[in-house]
Amino acid sequence: MTATIIDGKAFAATIRARVAEEVARVKAAGVTPGLAVVLVGEDPASAVYVRNKGRQTLEAGMHSEEHRLDATASEAEVLDIVARLNADPAIHGILVQLPLPDHIDAGLVIDAIDPDKDVDGFHISNVGRLATGQKALVPCTPLGCLMMLRDHLGDLSGREAVVIGRSNIVGKPMAQLLLRDSATVTIAHSRTADLPAVVRRADIVVAAVGRPKMVTGDWIKPGATVIDVGINRVPNGEKNRLVGDCDFESCAAVAGAITPVPGGVGPMTIACLLANTVTACCRAHGLPEPEGLTA
């Protein structure tokens, strides 16, 4: 069997086109959705992400701003910028790029963001709202994965899903979203006993580990849908190359469908960030919410 390749890049372009339509509608009502990104220090791994984000925000017709601070900036300086953005009526979405330098408490900074502007969905109230089934802003990477799964599989109810990784930004919210869609969810991590056997049960595998090509084809149930969240830079001659957490060749030989890296989850993450910004803007102004762009 050879897997269908789920084209995240193409799917993300359709989401961004929908976002642009919604931006036009909101602008006609007199509001321009605005996204602010806060960067502390230079993280080379995040450079492409940040560049693409800024460009695509403008292309969708939104207002975009970047606030760059030196790596030596104090926690108080970061909190001060967040406070100003919270109070700024032109800003509907705030994203503080992670990781932050070690001397800054990331949890403190995230929880200082107005939850209604927290387009990453990392604030403790959004985490709690998602977990309790209330209206929330949902983390972009899991939201993008969910959209691809629904698009490819339709109804997810009753399906066996295994999420590998339990981070607050990917694994845990992914599991919450799958649970909300009535999948039977297992969260695996570094202490999971016999991980290959656990993954072999899955109709849906979401790999969010950060280990290049860890998941191999012999772990995959024939016909399963594999979502590869991993973004790993590995040396390739003079340059670096991006690979996922799944060994694409061997997994694609067994899976029913698989996302590539690059061109899978990454572009969907950015598209969902734009979608969350329009959603936050509509909620802030009491405008009807976009359809099909939320979880």
Q: Which residues bind ligand GUE (CB under 6 A)?
A: 46, 48-49, 52, 95-98, 120, 140-141, 231, 242, 261-263, 266-267, 269-270
131 contact, one of ligand GUE, ligand NDP, none, CB 5-8 Å limit per kind: none
Contact between 209 and ligand NDP per CB under 6 A: yes
DSSP 85-148: HHH-TT--EEEE-SSPPTTS-HHHHHHHS-GGGBTT--SHHHHHHHHTT---PPPHHHHHHHHH
Q: Are strands 204-207 and 160-164 parallel, antiparallel or unpaired?
A: parallel
For residue 282, give the amino acid letter: C
Closest distance of CB 106 from ligand NDP, Å: 12
Interface residue with ligand NDP among 79, 169, 253, 284 (CB under 6 A) is 169
Q: Is residue 144 marked as binding? A: no
- Of 69-77, 85-93, 111-119, 228-236, the segment contacting ligand NDP by CB under 6 A is 228-236
- 8: tokens are 């995240």
CA distances 1 to 227, 250, 259, Å, are 17, 11, 16
- Of 113-121, 126-134, 187-195, 248-256, the segment contacting ligand NDP by CB under 6 A is 187-195
Q: Which is nearer to ligand NDP, 85 or 268 (CB)?
A: 268
Alpha-helical regions (H) of 117-255:
124-131, 140-153, 171-180, 195-200, 248-252
Task: Assess whether 97 carries a catalytic annotation.
Answer: yes
Which residue of the chain is nearest ligand NDP when measured via CB?
Answer: 167
CA angle 287–291–294, rounded 5-degree value: 100
Name residues contacting ligand NDP, limited to 77-136 (CB under 6 A). Answer: none
Q: Which is nearer to ligand NDP, 134 or 240 (CB)?
A: 240
267 contact, one of ligand NDP, ligand GUE, none, CB 5-8 Å limit per kind: ligand GUE
- 261: tokens are 């890296």
Residue 57 burial (C-beta neighbours within 10 Å; 0-12, 13-18, 19+)? buried
Task: Assess whether 120 carries a catalytic annotation.
Answer: yes
Q: Is residue 166 marked as binding? A: yes
Backbone CA torsion sign across 187, 188, 190, 193: positive
For residue 150, give the amino acid letter: R
Interface residue with ligand NDP among 57, 232, 276, 277 (CB under 6 A) is 232
Which is catalytic among the residues 56, 114, 118, 120? Answer: 120
191 contact, one of ligand GUE, ligand NDP, none, CB 5-8 Å limit per kind: ligand NDP
Interface residue with ligand NDP among 93, 171, 256, 260 (CB under 6 A) is 171
Q: Which is nearer to ligand GUE, 195 or 246 (CB)?
A: 246
Residues 233/266, Cβ–Cβ less than 8 Å: no
Residues 290/29, Cβ–Cβ less than 8 Å: no
Interface residue with ligand NDP among 266, 271, 272, 274 (CB under 6 A) is 266
Contact between 170 and ligand NDP per CB under 6 A: yes
Tell me how far apart the alpha carbons of residues 131 and 178 are, in angstroms, rounded to a whole number. 11
Which residues sit in the known binding site? 165-167, 231
Chain positions contacting ligand NDP, by CB under 6 A: 141, 164-167, 169-171, 188-192, 195, 208-211, 229-232, 265-266, 269
Q: Which residues are known to be catalytic?
A: 53, 97, 120
